[in-house]
Amino acid sequence: MKLAPLLASQWRALVLSTGFLTRLAPARAATDTEMAAGVAHYPLVGLLAGLACAGPFLLGLLGGHPWVQALGYAALLLWATRGLHWDGWADLMDAWGSAATGDRFWDILKDSRIGAFGVLGIVFGVLGQVVLAHEVITMGRTGALVWAPVLGRAACVVLAACVPPGTRSTLGRLTSAGATHMTVLFCAGVAAATGVVLAGPPAVLAAALPCACAVAWLAALARREGGLNGDFLGACIILGELSALLGSVLA
């Protein structure tokens, strides 16, 4: 009798996380406790996003035109996520590229206007995603397109567990609250298992190093600046996705 309420709560957490991170479910109001509980579902949301964005091309859409498929994949990811993670990526690139520290770092990070480093970050980030997606398509490793969003969101959970949230961050606080040891182990396990199935063990091993380096760099930067916020988490998702694609190319 206790199983039904548990399944219902987990289903609600998955739907809430999907609506928060993507357009694939309606956005809904949620309590802090529900937002924290949804963190464990981030890799599953990534899997849904990967299937939705790579699925048309896996089924043969625009077959024989890998560059168009790669661009379409990147565009669908942008649409599906509302550009949420790229916004954090651009903000972090502006703050980090400015070489500012302390309050000035956070002022730049939270400035809604984009600067030169943010523009460069988006250009090279999206370009890297398109180029790497083209490579995995031409190499016949298209399962990596589905896996990349899974690894990105798992990496985000690991980062949230490594660094306490900053006093200026609400999203960072909620994500860190949900990133318990069991949640981290679950998310890492989902990322590894789906990677083995979709991209192969060599790709998982090859992606592990750049992904770990990305998490370590962001963690060190966050500690230096007194905590992390949602922009750090968004940037980590982008770097995790790029790591998955790079690992699949190198494997």
pLDDT at 169: 67
Domain assignment present for residue 21? The answer is no
| Residues 45-95 pLDDT 10s | 999 999 999 999 999 999 999 999 999 999 999 999 999 999 999 999 999
Residue at 87 is within a domain? yes
Q: Is residue 11 a part of any domain in this protein?
A: no
Q: 14 and 44 in contact (C-beta within 8 Å)? A: yes
Distance CA 121, CA 113 (A): 14
211 within domain boundaries: yes
- On the question of pLDDT at 2 being above 80, the answer is no
Model confidence at 164, pLDDT cuts 50, 70, 90, reads: confident
DSSP symbol at 168:
T
5-10: long-range contacts, CB 8 A cutoff, minimum separation 24: 9/37, 10/41
The whole-number pLDDT of residue 32 equals 85
> Is 214 within a domain?
yes
CA distance 225 to 248: 33
The pLDDT value given to residue 1 = 46
Of the listed ranges 3-7, 9-13, 143-147, the least confidently predicted one is 3-7
Would 213 be classed as within a structural domain?
yes
Q: How far apart are CA 106 and CA 247, in angstroms?
A: 32
Residue 220 CB: number of other CB atoms within 10 A? Answer: 12
Residue 72 lies in a domain: yes
Q: Decide if pLDDT at 168 tops 80.
A: no
| Rg from Cα positions in the chain | 17
Domain membership of residue 196 (yes or no) is yes
In the chain, how many domains are there?
Answer: 1
For the beta carbon of residue 31, count every other beta carbon within 10 angstroms: 10
> What average pLDDT does range 220-239 have in this prediction?
95
CA distance 153 to 141: 20
Domain that holds residue 132: 39-250
Burial pattern 112-123, b for ≥16 Cβ within 10 A else e, equals eeebebbeebbe
What dihedral angle (degrees, nearest 10) is formed by the CA atoms of 89, 81, 137, 250?
40
Higher-pLDDT residue of 53 and 163 is 53
pLDDT in tens, 206-225: 999 999 999 999 999 999 99
DSSP-assigned letter for residue 178 = H
